[in-house]
Structure 1
Amino acid sequence: MSQISWLGPHDSFPNPLLTPDPDQSVPGLVAVSERIYPNQLLKAYKLGIFPWYSDEQPVLWWSPDPRMVLKPNDFHCSESLKKSIRHFCQDAQSALLVDADFGAVIRACATSTRKDQDGTWITHEIMDAYASIHEQGYAHSIAIMENGAMIGGLYCVAIGTMVYGESMFSRKPNASKLALAALSAWCIQNHVAMIDCQQETSHLRSMGAKPIPLLDFLQELQASVNQSNIVKPWKFDKQILTHWL
């Protein structure tokens, strides 16, 4: 059985395709570290690896097979969501804010109650790490606002032309779906082929996401992250949602 790598501050990540053992009890786990070291998060994403762990655990690094992805053109915009989009776009008191308050969005994701989930994987260390790469221009947030209050949103990571969805939250029906619809529309406009959704859930399936083999994901990822420039600046407003109408 292969051994899971314990990473120090200067160690390289193992190849996700070579690390997993079919018989191991935690398929998809490729490495462990004491903490998230500087620049380690970006290196992980470029290899298709992401952190997911709880406060009482060391940092666990994952690359599951299959990999859940959303091809932006496959985003399922239901009739009820289209109705919400029309109302949202016509409401003068509603707004969609991009990168306006990244910290508030990730904190909202961390503190939102989720069905069948006890606690959160978004630890203080995770929030600090993503805030750091946000400052470097690699992590972004979308906030859905109503009467000045944040009612939903998401945050993600973007490297080259690869977008990795991280977490969403919703305080009103369809609020997180509005954020994902906006992200999907932006990806279509900027020729982003897929959004990494990491792990399979029924909610993601209902939005159009599907699992693909890890090898296929990694091949698409390498072609995308090797693009020399990020697509266009992350500047858009709620009118991007009219793409779905």
Structure 2
Amino acid sequence: MILTPELLLNAYASGVFPMAETRDAPEIFWVDPRRRGVFPLDRFHISRSLARRLRRPDYQIRINSDFAGVVNGCADRPETWINDEIFGLYMQLHALGFAHSLEVWMDDALVGGVYGVTLGRAFFGESMFSRRPNASKIALAWLVDRLNVAGFTLFDTQFITPHLASLGAIEIPRARYRALLDQALEGDADFTGPPLPRSAQEVLQRSTHTS
């Protein structure tokens, strides 16, 4: 089967997503977890230590300024599910306006970020990376704020990890996920629409109002 951006978007709308066994694997398979990881957008947990880190002025947040760099950063690990075909597919989705990155920069270097796919009011988080301590947590905090401001209702993390759980991610049954997905696909949200907050303090203030 030849994968196309259209087929990939239809898969997301049906609740499944692609993976490869390894970086060099020639085949891609579809995943439909029995229990799905999601971030309730009104319950993202910002600890005191993360709040202090967010307030430090030594980083910048950018949107879609180096999407390929973020995907490469996510794949730059001993084991990865991002093979060349998957990389190419997400680059096509990015060019079509369906895949986006939120990036953490320090001293003009990309040090962390997260990327995902958007459909309706759903954000399908694909992967994240960090080259500096807490860079991925910074990215997630700004991402959740952006999703709330832009009108998203579903943040799909696919699976759950201790790292994600510590920030508020939970697991829900497949049937519950499908119901939330159907609701999210009925509306519209614009990932690139809202301007970036002027400071992390705006992100923190909105977080305390929603959590």
Give the TM-score taking structure 1 as reference length.
0.77
Q: Show the counterpart of 1:163.
A: 123
Relative distance call for 1:139 and 1:47 in structure 2 (3 A) is: same
Contact 1:96 / 1:238 at 8 angstroms: preserved in 2?
Answer: no
Please list, as runs of the form range in 1=range in 2, the aligned pairs for 1:22-61 lying within 5 A after superposition: 35-54=2-21, 55-56=24-25, 58-61=27-30
Q: Show the counterpart of 1:31.
A: none
Relative distance call for 1:60 and 1:149 in structure 2 (3 A) is: same
- Cα-to-partner distance string for 1:35-57 (whole Å, 9 max, x where unaligned): 52342111111111101122325
Q: Show the counterpart of 2:106.
A: 146
2:72 corresponds to 1:107:
yes
Q: Show the counterpart of 1:79.
A: 48
Give the TM-score taking structure 2 as reference length.
0.89
Structure 2: gaps spanning 5 or more residues = 206-211
Q: Show the counterpart of 2:34.
A: 65
Contact 1:185 / 1:240 at 8 angstroms: preserved in 2?
Answer: no
RMSD: 1.7
The structure with more radius of gyration: 1
Give the number of the structure whose residues are more often helix, by fraction.
Answer: 2
Relative distance call for 1:241 and 1:51 in structure 2 (3 A) is: farther
SS of equivalent to 1:39: helix
In the TM superposition, residue 168 of structure 1 has moved relative to its aligned partner by: 0.5
CA distance in 2, matches of 1:179, 1:239: 15
Q: Show the counterpart of 2:208.
A: none
Contact 2:37 / 2:171 at 8 angstroms: preserved in 1?
Answer: yes
2:153 corresponds to 1:193:
yes
SS of equivalent to 1:77: coil
SS of equivalent to 2:80: coil
SS of equivalent to 2:104: strand
In the TM superposition, residue 234 of structure 1 has moved relative to its aligned partner by: 4.4
CA distance in 2, matches of 1:180, 1:155: 10
In the TM superposition, residue 238 of structure 1 has moved relative to its aligned partner by: 5.5
4+ residue runs of structure 1 moved beyond 6 angstroms? none
Q: Which one scores higher on RCO, CA 8 angstroms, separation ≥ 6?
A: 2
Relative distance call for 1:38 and 1:232 in structure 2 (3 A) is: closer
CA distance in 1, matches of 2:5, 2:190: 25
CA distance in 2, matches of 1:234, 1:214: 31
Q: Quick one: which of 231, 234, 238 aligns to 2:190?
A: 231
